[in-house]
Amino acid sequence: MLYLIPTPVGNLEDITLRALRVLKEVDLILAEDTRTSGLLLKHFDIHQPMLSYHKFNEHQTVHQIVERLLAGADVAVISDAGTPGISDPGFLVAREAIRAGIEVSCLPGATAFVPALVSSGLPCDKFCFEGFLPQKKGRQTRLQQLAAETRTIIFYESPHRVVKTLQQFAEVFGQDRPVAVCREISKMHEQTVRGTMQEALTHFQEHEPRGEFVIIVGGAPTTNNESKQKDRNIKKEQL
């Protein structure tokens, strides 16, 4: 069995009892950074062997891992924080395990974007997750493609690029587009800055961005024709 196990994005109490049990039972733990994961496992008195598995070596090690699974080993995949596969390694080994006929199970648990989205105050019934934008090539093109997106949009960003990213968002999405900028989810200094894109930009120009960020951008306003069509669809459903 291959297990994808979420780990806390901040508060260690966010890990589930099931996750702890599985981590103690598997034969091998694949860790994005064994030093970071080592601290987590030590805290919970887990002593299973670990193997480094990250974006720079996953293509070289995935077949070795699948062979161990086929030989009968139970393997868990964890990232430094959050759910493996969500802007972290995990997809490749899950895909190859499935192709090999191995059962794959993802445990529910911690991830950064869900609490950021739900607490943003922006619509969360429909949304699209973009994760990290390309740093250079294709970045502006992708933003232009998202300019007319009517669903709430979720981005991940590092602290040293937050101001530049918000500047680009203001240029492409408009200064008045609503946004919630969340940092340090589930940590001591957790904070959410809500308002217009310009207000959020001004805040982080005046206050140095620190920590990991999730940026929740309100969708583009729908046109009158789109609104009328939605109203007609709702009436049809009611009938």
Q: Residue 211 sits in a domain of what CATH number?
A: 3.30.950.10
Report the half-sphere exposure of 29 (CA within 13 A, side-chain side).
28
Domain final residue pick, 51, 77, 106: 106
Q: Give the span between the Cα atoms of 25 and 58, in whole angstroms.
A: 23
Domain final residue pick, 91, 106, 121: 106
Is residue 224, in this structure, part of any structural domain at all? no
Is residue 239, in this structure, part of any structural domain at all? no
pLDDT score, position 222? 84
CATH number at residue 35: 3.40.1010.10
Domain final residue pick, 74, 106, 138: 106
Sheet with 178-183: list strands edge to edge: 127-131, 152-157, 213-217, 178-183, 191-196
- Based on the domain organization, do 179 and 98 belong to the same domain? no
- Based on the domain organization, do 78 and 136 belong to the same domain? no
- Based on the domain organization, do 16 and 65 belong to the same domain? yes
Is residue 207, in this structure, part of any structural domain at all? yes
- Based on the domain organization, do 39 and 85 belong to the same domain? yes
CA angle 90, 96, 100 (to 5 degrees): 140
Say how many domains are in the chain.
2
CA angle 112, 2, 27 (to 5 degrees): 110
Is residue 227, in this structure, part of any structural domain at all? no
| Full residue range of the structural domain in which residue 98 is found | 2-106
Whole-model pTM above 0.95? no
Is residue 237, in this structure, part of any structural domain at all? no
Q: Give the span between the Cα atoms of 214 and 87, in whole angstroms.
A: 12
- Listed in sequence order, the residues at least 6 apart from 40 whose beta carbon sits closer than 8 Å to its beta carbon are 7, 8, 12, 15, 78
Question: Residues of the chain whose pLDDT is less than 70?
Answer: 224-239
Q: How many CB atoms lie within 10 A of CB 205?
A: 13
Mind spelling out the 3-state secondary structure of 179-224?
EEEEECCCCCCCEEEEEEHHHHHHHHHHCCCCCCEEEEECCCCCCH
Is residue 228, in this structure, part of any structural domain at all? no
- Based on the domain organization, do 86 and 176 belong to the same domain? no
- In the chain, what's the furthest Cα-to-Cα distance? 60
What are 78's strand-pairing partners? 31
- Based on the domain organization, do 102 and 120 belong to the same domain? no
Amino acid making up residue 91: F
